[in-house]
Chain A
Amino acid sequence: MSFLNAMKGLQQKFQDKEVGANNLGKLVSHSIISRFDSNFINQFIVAPNQGTPSQQPGPGKKITLNPDTQNYIPVIYGSAYTSGIITDATMSADNLTMWYCITISEKTGTFIDGTDSTFSFKEVYYEGLRLTFKDDGYTVDLAIDDDGNTCDTYSGLMEIYPFSIDSDEPTGFTTESAQNNLAAYDLMPHWDIYDTMSELNFVIVKVKYNADAEITSLENLQFKVENSMKNVGDVMYDYSTNTRYGAGIPEDDLEIS
């Protein structure tokens, strides 16, 4: 610290000329309490570039999926609405059932205290209508609009299976008491045990074709999700240290207190 010591001597000369307790620093009349708002978290949510279905004349509806292989998987902290990214799809031999895999977000790490963060699926919306489920917890029952009106147009035509962490970790919607217990690779017809969707939160959606109900593609499906990790300190710690989706700063380089 040699150059600082030399500066100390120079500073002493200043002091000799200007001694006085009031020169110690500036007077302040109030303190500024800075705080982050959880809204800043939104900058980490990346809007995906989603392929759009196309329609052509003729029986049925031609759906063209155009997933972008350069999409970044979002990291979601706190609560958010998201449509996710379609990363796989398949259709039954009779052309009447489609399966989609929709990737929602990365599974986040641990809180500063070492406990795991948890990810939950709160609600699901189809064409702006909130969906409820039958007793099994995954088959769509009713659709509810903003005024509380209900309709059963989609009843039994869609099945929605949320997963948290990976394909072996089925979960349910927090509004439902029941949930699917099958692994994702036992649901998606062409998947096997190596389709593990490692460290991802995702949804498998089964859609049955029904022209009368206007279910001819996967339209505007949106999920309300929530990550238990939402406090600024935990979020900054997680995003700073994570090597998969964050800055990858070594933990030892961070001052955590």
Chain B
Amino acid sequence: MGTQLNLDSYPSLLANYTVQWTCPEYLTTPTGIPQHEELLFTDDIYPLERDGFTFTPVGKLLSITPSTSSIRGATNSITLTLSGIPDTEIGAVLYSNIKGNIVRIKRYLWDSETAQIQLPSVGSVQGRFFGYIESYSVDDDYDYYGRSQTVSLTLNLNSWVDYLSNNFNARQTNSESMKENFPDDTSFDRVSALKDTEFNFGAPRSQATTNGRTTRPISGSGGVWV
């Protein structure tokens, strides 16, 4: 295991989140050409440069609901809300293909004594949540008297464990399933023929094995061998 953060050395720490939202089909107009875009932001009030990326500071405009950390891998979902999106920019949200986009949220720890200096050990960067956008909503709040408008984007994120629980391939014990990957493999060709087959194990030789319809052996199946 690598170097761990020694908390005994610090009376207090500061924490910030960084969000890396990968949008493969980012569009700002309905007729434009989709572009790959890495949307990077942090709840810090200063730009944050880490891992070769520059995270845009959005401060309190970013909120992330708590997530549960459990010993066992479990399905987990959180909600990320971005407030204060200018209404002139909301097209980017509406025209881009958002669902299924990958979102990585990390937590950065800082030494509160020296503020902007990142702690020098490996433990100062922790994964907070890795998942994908399951759904999203855009909330438009217009204050008539204040002549102001607030647009919020809420992303509902599911963890990869949830994805893995619902999206998997699996080979079944039948010929068709076997041949999907191995066309020449006949190992499971007899599984359905075995259904309801009776083997009269230990019986006198005259009592053949039957499946209720025909007498064994069935061509290409298990049954009696000599």
> What residues make up the interface of A, taking CB atoms closer than 8 Å to B?
1-8, 10-11, 14-15, 19, 21-32, 34-37, 39-40, 43, 46, 58-73, 85-96, 98, 101, 103, 106, 167, 189-192, 194-200, 209, 211, 216-217, 232, 236, 239-240, 242-248, 253, 255
- CB nearest to A49 among chain B residues: B173
Check B224–A91 contact: CB distance below 8 A. Answer: yes
Check B69–A32 contact: CB distance below 8 A. Answer: yes
The residue that B56 contacts in the complex, of A7, A73, A244, with Cβ under 8 A, is A7
CA distance A217 to B18 in the complex (A): 62
- CB nearest to B216 among chain A residues: A91
Let me know if B109 is at the binding interface, CB within 8 A.
yes
CB < 8 Å A-B pair total: 277
Q: List chain A residues, Cβ under 8 A from B93.
A: 3
Check A5–B56 contact: CB distance below 8 A. Answer: yes
Minimum CB–CB distance from A120 to chain B (whole Å) comes to 21
Let me know if B213 is at the binding interface, CB within 8 A.
no
Minimum CB–CB distance from A85 to chain B (whole Å) comes to 6
Minimum CB–CB distance from A38 to chain B (whole Å) comes to 10
Question: Can you show 19 pairs from A to B with CB atoms below 8 A apart?
Answer: A3-B89, A6-B85, A22-B112, A26-B14, A31-B7, A59-B203, A60-B200, A60-B201, A60-B207, A70-B174, A87-B187, A87-B188, A88-B191, A88-B222, A190-B221, A209-B201, A232-B73, A239-B164, A248-B169
The residue that B225 contacts in the complex, of A66, A67, A190, with Cβ under 8 A, is A190
Check A15–B59 contact: CB distance below 8 A. Answer: yes
Instruction: Beyond the given A67-B195, A89-B199, please list 16 additional residue pairs across the A-B interface where CB-CB is below 8 A.
Output: A1-B39, A1-B56, A24-B14, A28-B13, A32-B69, A43-B73, A66-B195, A66-B196, A69-B191, A85-B173, A87-B173, A92-B226, A96-B201, A190-B223, A194-B185, A240-B160
Check A65–B197 contact: CB distance below 8 A. Answer: yes
Check A211–B202 contact: CB distance below 8 A. Answer: yes
8 Å CB interface, B44-60 against A: 44-45, 56-60
Check A90–B223 contact: CB distance below 8 A. Answer: yes
Q: List chain A residues, Cβ under 8 A from B197.
A: 64-65, 89
- CB nearest to B20 among chain A residues: A255
Minimum CB–CB distance from B22 to chain A (whole Å) comes to 9
Q: List chain A residues, Cβ under 8 A from B142.
A: none
CA distance A72 to B169 in the complex (A): 10
Q: List chain A residues, Cβ under 8 A from B178.
A: 198
Let me know if B186 is at the binding interface, CB within 8 A.
yes
Given contacts A31-B126, A90-B223, contact A63 B12 (CB under 8 A): no
8 Å CB interface, B172-215 against A: 172-174, 178, 181-182, 184-188, 190-192, 194-205, 207, 209
Given contacts A71-B172, A98-B199, A245-B168, contact A195 B185 (CB under 8 A): yes
Minimum CB–CB distance from A225 to chain B (whole Å) comes to 18
- CB nearest to A202 among chain B residues: B187
The 4 closest A-B pairs by CB, nearest first: A60-B203, A3-B89, A60-B202, A69-B174
- CB nearest to B204 among chain A residues: A59
Minimum CB–CB distance from A66 to chain B (whole Å) comes to 6
Let me know if B30 is at the binding interface, CB within 8 A.
no
Q: List chain A residues, Cβ under 8 A from B92.
A: 2-3
Let me know if B78 is at the binding interface, CB within 8 A.
no
CA distance A192 to B73 in the complex (A): 43
Q: List chain B residues, Cβ under 8 A from A35.
A: 71
Minimum CB–CB distance from B205 to chain A (whole Å) comes to 6
CA distance A19 to B220 in the complex (A): 81
Check A194–B184 contact: CB distance below 8 A. Answer: yes
Q: List chain A residues, Cβ under 8 A from B191.
A: 67, 69, 87-88
Check B164–A7 contact: CB distance below 8 A. Answer: no
Given contacts A25-B44, A28-B13, A93-B224, contact A98 B171 (CB under 8 A): no
Q: List chain A residues, Cβ under 8 A from B14.
A: 22, 24-28
Check B195–A24 contact: CB distance below 8 A. Answer: no
CA distance A86 to B188 in the complex (A): 10
Check A28–B58 contact: CB distance below 8 A. Answer: no
Q: List chain B residues, Cβ under 8 A from A34.
A: 69
8 Å CB interface, B104-150 against A: 104, 109-110, 112, 115, 123, 126
The residue that B187 contacts in the complex, of A5, A28, A196, A232, with Cβ under 8 A, is A196
